Structure 1
Amino acid sequence: MRNRSRLRALLSGLLAVALAAPVRAEDGPNVSIIRDAEIEQLLRDYTKPVLEAAGIHTGAARIILVGDRSFNAFVADGQKIFVNVGALIEAKTPNEIIGVLAHESGHIAGGHLARGRQELARAAILSVAGMLASAGAIFAARGAFSRPNASVGMDSGGAVGILMGPQEAVKRSLLAYQRGEEQAADRMAVRFLTATRQSAKGMLETFNRFASETLFKSSTIDPYLQSHPLPNERISNLRQAAEQSPFFETQDPPALQARHDLMRAKLIGFTGDVGEVGRRYPVSDLSLPARYARVIADNRFGRLDEALAGADALIAAQPKNPYFWELKGQFLLEAGRAAQAIAPLRKAAGLAGPNATPIRVLLGHALVASDNPAYTDEAIKVLANATQRDEDSSEAWEFLSMAYFRKGDGAKAQLAAAEGLFVAGKYIEARTQASRAQTQFKEGSPGWLKADDILTYRPPGSE
């Protein structure tokens, strides 16, 4: 049993390498998921035509922002595309990010995650067989050593080497499989971009960037121990396919580039230090993106009056931009002025439309935090709508629980709290709240059943 457990752990690790190579397990607790209505909508606009060209249902795929400044994106958990904010910051054009998203869509369209699991199962069988054969060789050798006058010896290191040999072969096999899938995703990405009359030049520029970085230099790399093709090989193959497209020189629409520039400025304003914001957007730069970044930085670094004045100036420049209204509301809410934040957040929610869940969660937060009973019903309506559109928003459930509590509805308050804890992965606490809620609902009612779902759920590997 002990050896089998070790083998299972090894193969699970290889699956992570093969299917999401840039993510390290130890990084998990330090990586945050970022919610932002403006960026999410822009990425949906980038991805929709590509997904349609790939034959992927646009409602099933989801893009998730990862709070990591490295340039990276990957697919995991079915049809979820994870994009690091570092990729969005460093990509100077929409086309660069669209190329990355097209590549990840190629993984989804190609069924690479599902086939990767099949490859892993096959590798498990091969590895077990190899380990058994190696063990047999060791036992035979030990039999020889036990005979009188044996002249050949083997230390424990040699035995471990024989056992590790098949596992190393399996690792190389899985990585070779991974490299093949990466190249297939590249080819599909070019096809999707051509079908949508877009250029693959952005993809090419992205891989050129990788090739120029020390991490991706291949002079001392064993090509058989890489999960991705080596940069020079990859660029050569991609260039040939990309340049054959009649849309290779196609430029991004100016309006899309303008939105991209605002997105980058927003991320730098929220994640950069004073030096980076000042270097990228000096006060002499009066462009809208530069002002956007500096206004956000003003609020982050304690200059609230300047931040609010800057937000008003942004609104004056683009009165129908919902994200400038959202920014003002956020500044006021974070400053403890929840009642004043409600009006700009209502305006933002109205301009952004129903898909802007993060704005609606922010509005619900402000309505609850205002401590005004007159806003309780509105808070419940706004937050209930947000949870229906996005069940994974733990904040929406948390504030909805508070609103129900204000309303005096303890059963729904505890059930909403349980839902929020469940989404956050706090299963023990979620079951405690669900148990309390269930006793207050009629058996078999929708609330009782929702509570029961939480009580009976067991996360994978907990059995």
Structure 2
Amino acid sequence: MTSRWLRFAAVAAASLALLARPAAAQQILRDAETEAFMADMSAPLVQAAGMEPRNVQVLVINDPNINAFVAGGQYVWVHSGLIAAADNVNQVQGVVAHELGHIEGGHVIRYGEGMKEATGITLLSLVLGAAAIAAGGAEAGMGILGMGQQAAMGKFLAFSRAQESSADLAGARYLSKAGVSGKGSLEFFKKLQNQEYRLAIPQDDSYGRTHPLSGERINVLREVYTVDPAWDKPMDPKLEARFERIKAKLVGFVSEPSQTLLKYPESDQSLPAHYARAYAWHKSAYPDKALAEVDALLAAAPHDPYFLELKGQVLLESGKPADAIPPLREAVQLTNQPLIATLLGHALIATENDANFAEAEKVLRNAIARDRENPFAWYQLGVVYEHRGDLPRAALATAERYSMMGEDQMALRSADAAMQGLKPGTVDYLRAQDIAMVSRAAVEQKRKKR
């Protein structure tokens, strides 16, 4: 989650939802099952890196490119395209281990060091070039300027490649300490190398690139991985089965339905295939077909919380909120997941039955207590407060939502409105005051930039 803070984007009510951070306009895929899987998959690696698993998050971004990155804080961002391209969980673990190497090495913070060195070279070349021009050597002066810029870029690229190589070796250490094979890491670098071949990237020299060539990385890491005791250790079959489910549901959610149905045809009766097709049919507005796929999943695992969650989602978004409540209630009881609880709260409100609003408030308040960075949960809670006539708290919930969305002006207005009706000195009043203060400063800063 890093410097890119959450903003609600689209598919607001969906259990698998898109959110975005305004700084980079990146869409984040929030999904209870995916986040639980990523946490369990990466926990041994995080511990091997000397970090606390509860402080490190591995999140998925809706982007078809094969990529992963860190951007400040203890957060690893994985593109949905990378998961779709991975053949097994071990390959994803190899990527995550590498990114953890960037976190442990403080590479995002040290990025400024590389820029500073490169800038120093550029400034020196400017001084020398200007002196040569002033002395009458215009051609020599321009040459010095050009060489200085080239040297600065080379210095920075070398710095970047060194960081990547350092993260590769750090990731190898984490995999070894966690008892996870490095085969997946090498396999994934091979995929990247095949991409380089397709793009006709020269394979003889990595000069001029921010990353070492994949072939160079494979050669170095092969020597490390093949002698490691974990090299021949098989993958955890339960973790691999969970990965296949996650991959299928992500493909079903982000891909065009026609593409999903080609990848997971009707002839494929596996659980992942049913999962992918359920999302494909739901996206295509065929609720009966989607429910048929979900029922096939529940026939195999009647009390799987994520299958129950999906059934509730399809029913809710098909205009049957009352029918969605029982499966969602059971899913919440089984997992206590705040994202699923938010979906249940939405279903309770969507019934427009006054008797359900008290339960909706309880469910949503519990969800927010465990996951404050969910704008849609705040929106739903605001609806509950407005329904019961508590306009100041409805305004506070709206302020929370706009604050996460990066809508500073709207957050300021809502926070000011909340303070007009809240008792000074209370927790809610102080929270509204905090939002107003931060939002006002952000508005002023934007005004000065203009």
- TM-score scaled by length of structure 1: 0.86
User: Once the 2 structures are TM-superposed, how far is the Cα of residue 26 of structure 1 from its aligned partner?
Assistant: 12
Secondary structure of residue in 2 paired with 1:323 = helix
Q: Distance in 2 between matches of 1:161 and 1:320?
A: 72
Contact 1:107 1:185 in 2 (8 A): yes
Q: Of residues 412, 417, 427 in structure 2, which corresponds to 1:431?
A: 412
| Per-residue deviation, 1:113 | 1.5
Question: For 1:209, which of 191, 197, 208 is the aligned residue?
Answer: 191
- SS of 1:225's equivalent in the other structure is coil
Q: Match of 1:132, as an amino acid? A: V
Q: What is the alpha-carbon distance in structure 1 between the residues aligned to residue 357 and residue 347 of structure 2?
A: 11
CA distance in 1, matches of 2:132, 2:358: 74
Deviates more, 1:208-217 or 1:234-243: 208-217
Provide the secondary structure at the position in 1 that maps to 2:421. Answer: coil
Q: TM-score, normalised by structure 2?
A: 0.88
Q: Deviations over 1:8-53 (max 9, x none)?
A: xxxxxxxxxxxxxxxxx99943x31111111111100011111011
Cross-structure match for 2:347 = 366
The answer for the alignment partner of 1:21 in structure 2 is: none
CA shift digits 1:345-376 (9 cap, x unpaired): 111111123xx222112112112222122222
Gaps of 5+ in 1: 1-24, 145-151
Higher alpha-carbon deviation: 202-211 or 260-269: 260-269
Identity %: 38
Does 1:454 pair with 2:435?
yes
Pick aligned residue for 2:332 from 330, 349, 369: 349
**Cα 1:242–1:222, aligned 2, differ >3 Å: closer, same or farther?**
closer
Q: From 417, 424, 441, give the equivalent of 2:398.
A: 417
Structure 1 residues 136 and 299: CA distance shift in structure 2, 3 A? same
**2:168 alignment counterpart:** 186
Q: 1:380: which partner in 2? A: 361
Which of 262, 285, 290 is matched with 2:245 structurally? 262
2:3 corresponds in structure 1 to none
Task: Tell me if the contact between 1:210 and 1:216 (Cα under 8 Å) persists in the aligned partners.
Answer: no
- Residues 222/427 of structure 1: CA separation in 2 closer, same or farther (3 Å cut): farther
Distance (Å, rounded) in 1 between the aligned partners of 2:303 and 2:252:
21
d(CA) in 2 for partners of 1:452, 1:122:
43
Amino acid at match of 2:270: S
CA distance in 1, matches of 2:22, 2:411: 25
After TM superposition, give the deviation of residue 165 of structure 1 in Å.
4.3
Paired letter, 2:259 = E
Contact 2:121 2:151 in 1 (8 A): no
Alignment partner, residue 284 of structure 1: 267
Structure-2 change in CA distance of 1:240 and 1:448 (3 Å): same
- Tell me what 2:308 maps to: 325
SS in structure 1 opposite 2:192?
helix
Picking from 68, 72, 76, the partner of 1:73 is 68
Aligned residue pairs: how many?
423
Name the residue aligned to 2:214: 231
- Please report how far the alpha carbon of residue 385 of structure 1 lies from its aligned counterpart in structure 2 after TM superposition: 2.0
Measured on the aligned residues, the alpha-carbon RMSD in Å equals 2.4
Highest Rg: 1 or 2?
1
Say if 1:216 and 1:231, in contact at 8 Å, map to a contact too. Answer: no
Q: Which runs of 5 or more residues in structure 2 are unaligned?
A: 1-20
Cα distance in 1 between the residues matched to 2:354 and 2:331: 22
Contact 2:128–2:141 at 8 Å: present in 1 too?
no
The answer to whether the 8 A contact 2:157-2:209 is kept is: yes
Within the candidate set 365, 369, 372, 1:391 is matched to 372
Matched with 2:31 is 36
Shift of 1:217: 4.8
Query: Whole-Å Cα distance in 2 between the matches of residues 46 and 216 of structure 1?
Result: 32
Q: Which runs of 4+ in 1 moved over 6 A?
A: 158-161
SS, match of residue 83 in structure 1: strand
Identify if the C-alpha distance between structure 1 residues 159 and 402 changes in structure 2 by more than 3 Å, giving closer, same or farther.
farther
